[in-house]
């Protein structure tokens, strides 16, 4: 049996053995079968291993042991779900001994852990619902005004989902839908009226806005106390200065994923690829406030891979499908994929998902799939990662809800 850090028992069945990565299907409990790729197990040499030959021999022994024996394996695990195996105890059908200590020669079988954003978002929403209930007992109902201009299909889906989540959590919401011919002045008047409304604690202006509207001027017009997206320069400045602020939802969600997954941040080298005002910069600042050593990269960064390979925590917020490849990831790193890119091109699909039956079926059905900024192969190298979809995405709405309740409380001095 393999026991992970939280003592869950996983029965490992070999489905395919591939050099140098083994792919396993795992059962947790008696009957629940997990599909790939969450339980990919990579083998890495430790720094003090004695050369490639020894390692190759040991890898072969592990493969033999698992393939021939399908035997239970006892593994000690450290904080990263690593299974330490003593080389000398390896052999066909032999048991690997539980061990927490370093051996002169050893292997680490590392399971890339999937960081389940949907589950974490559900937990946060439950907490928010409880806060809304408590505020309700004091006669306070947090309210969110969502402004959706025109008919951008993706924006319509996002806003609908935000409004629905408000309803689910007991938050009041008002959906305002100006036509796509709206002017900056009309939008300015709308924002001013929302600033003045007492039943509105948070104002969300769904981006992008039509070209004729001055987006920056409008975002600056939102009262900082109601700026639940955290885009106002006052909130950006407060964040920078380490003062209480409404934080941008997606970066705040990244921090929640790391914290709630028990991934250490303090002292870690966090590399953020992307420096936008809504993701990259605030993510870097939040990581810095959590005492990470932070490097920010962008399109002018020289030898990007050399920097990303140093990352203990790698945040990809680039907007380019599968841009971060496996050579750019340090084995065992935590990879947070913020990217959301819809691909429709068959060649691009094949480069990313060749052989992935589930994605293939989705692509054929819908003519597109959503993919992050990290290449699926790169996740195999990681120690933990957020999938796309189902990673960072769900956190963005959860944090918007949390910000709305926070704004409601802050406005009332609670
Ligand atoms: P932007 O386009 O505003 O910023 C992209 C950043 O990536 C820029 O800083 C750019 O650098 C950098 N970049 C572009 N090309 C390269 C390159 N070749 N090498 C290194 N850096 C590069 O995007 P956003 O920050 O708004 O979004 C990033 C991704 O996150 C997108 O896929 C978006 O869809 C997704 N997203 C997901 C959300 C969610 O809820 N999950 C929410 C918000 C965004 P430079 O500044 O030099 O141009």
Rounded to 10 degrees, what is the CA torsion of 242, 115, 360, 21? 120
- Region class of 28: left (phi > 0), else alpha (psi between -120 and 50), else beta: beta
Ligand 1 site, residue 308, Cβ cutoff 6 A: no
Strand pairing class (384-385; 334-337) = parallel
Q: How many angstroms is it from 275 CA to the middle of ligand 1?
A: 7
**Dist CA 414 CA 406 (whole Å):** 9
Ligand 1 site, residue 301, Cβ cutoff 6 A: yes
Ligand 1 site, residue 275, Cβ cutoff 6 A: yes
CA atoms within 13 A on the CB side of 324: 37
The answer to whether residue 168 is catalytic is no
Rounded to 10 degrees, what is the CA torsion of 86, 89, 91, 92? -110
What number is the average pLDDT over the span 300-305? 98
| Residue-wise pLDDT tens digits, 102-161 | 322 233 344 578 999 999 999 999 999 999 999 999 999 999 999 999 999 999 999 999
The two three-digit tokens of residue 128, written as one number: 């928010």
Q: How many CB atoms lie within 10 A of CB 195?
A: 15
Q: First vs last Cα of the chain: how many Å apart?
A: 50
Eight-state DSSP code of residue 374: B
Sketch out the chain's domains with CATH numbers.
2-111 (no CATH), 142-244 (3.40.50.10860), 249-392 (3.40.50.720)
| CB-based contacts of 87, cutoff 8 Å, min separation 6 | 54, 58, 61, 103, 105, 106, 107
The structure's pTM equals 0.79
**Dist CA 281 CA 270 (whole Å):** 13
The answer to whether residue 18 is catalytic is no
Determine the residue of 154, 338, 343, 394 to mutate for testing ligand 1's pocket, defined as the one with the most ligand atoms within 8 A of the Cβ atom.
338
Of 206, 226, 312, 337, which is the active-site residue? Answer: 206
**pLDDT recorded at residue 9:** 30
Whether the Cβ atoms of residue 340 and residue 297 lie closer than 8 Å to each other? no
The answer to whether residue 229 is catalytic is yes
Of 49, 81, 125, 162, which is the active-site residue? Answer: 162
**Dist CA 291 CA 282 (whole Å):** 14
| Residue-wise pLDDT tens digits, 342-380 | 999 999 999 999 988 989 999 999 999 999 999 999 998
Ligand 1 site, residue 273, Cβ cutoff 6 A: yes
């Amino acid at each position: 049996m393999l026991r992970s850090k939280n003592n869950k028992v996983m029965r490992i069945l070999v489905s395919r053995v591939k050099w140098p990565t083994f792919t396993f299907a795992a059962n947790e409990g008696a009957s629940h079968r997990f599909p790939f790729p969450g339980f990919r197990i990579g083998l890495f040499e430790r720094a003090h291993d004695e050369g490639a030959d020894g390692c190759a021999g040991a890898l072969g022994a592990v493969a033999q042991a698992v393939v021939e024996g399908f035997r239970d394996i006892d593994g000690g695990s450290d904080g990263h779900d690593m299974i330490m195996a003593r080389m000398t105890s390896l052999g066909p059908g032999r048991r690997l001994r539980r061990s927490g200590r370093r051996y002169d020669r050893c292997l680490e079988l590392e399971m890339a852990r999937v960081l389940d954003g949907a589950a974490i978002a559900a937990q946060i929403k439950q907490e928010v619902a409880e806060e809304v209930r408590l505020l309700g007992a004091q006669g306070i109902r947090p309210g969110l005004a969502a402004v959706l201009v025109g008919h951008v299909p993706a924006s319509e889906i996002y806003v609908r989902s935000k409004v629905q989540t408000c309803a689910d959590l007991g938050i009041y919401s008002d959906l305002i839908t100006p036509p796509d011919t709206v002017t900056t002045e009309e939008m300015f008047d709308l924002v001013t009226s929302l600033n003045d409304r007492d039943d509105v604690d948070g104002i969300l202006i769904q981006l992008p806005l039509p070209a004729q509207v001055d987006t920056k001027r409008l975002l600056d017009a939102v009262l900082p106390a109601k700026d639940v997206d955290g885009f106002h320069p006052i909130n950006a400045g407060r964040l920078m200065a380490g003062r209480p602020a409404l934080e941008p939802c997606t970066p705040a969600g990244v921090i929640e994923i790391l914290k709630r997954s028990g991934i250490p941040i303090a002292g870690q080298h966090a590399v953020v690829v992307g420096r936008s005002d809504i993701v990259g910069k605030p993510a870097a600042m939040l990581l810095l406030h959590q005492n990470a050593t932070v490097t920010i990269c962008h399109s002018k960064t020289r030898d990007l891979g050399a920097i990303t390979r140093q990352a203990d925590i790698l945040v990809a917020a680039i907007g380019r499908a599968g841009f971060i490849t496996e050579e750019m990831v340090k084995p065992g790193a935590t990879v947070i994929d913020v990217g959301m890119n819809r691909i429709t091109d068959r060649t691009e699909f094949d480069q990313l998902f060749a052989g992935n039956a589930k994605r293939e079926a989705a692509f054929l059905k819908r003519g597109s799939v959503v993919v992050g900024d990290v290449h699926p192969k790169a996740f195999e190298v990681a120690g933990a990662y957020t999938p796309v979809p189902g990673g960072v995405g769900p956190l963005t709405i959860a944090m918007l809800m949390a910000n709305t309740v926070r704004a409601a409380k802050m406005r009332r001095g609670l």
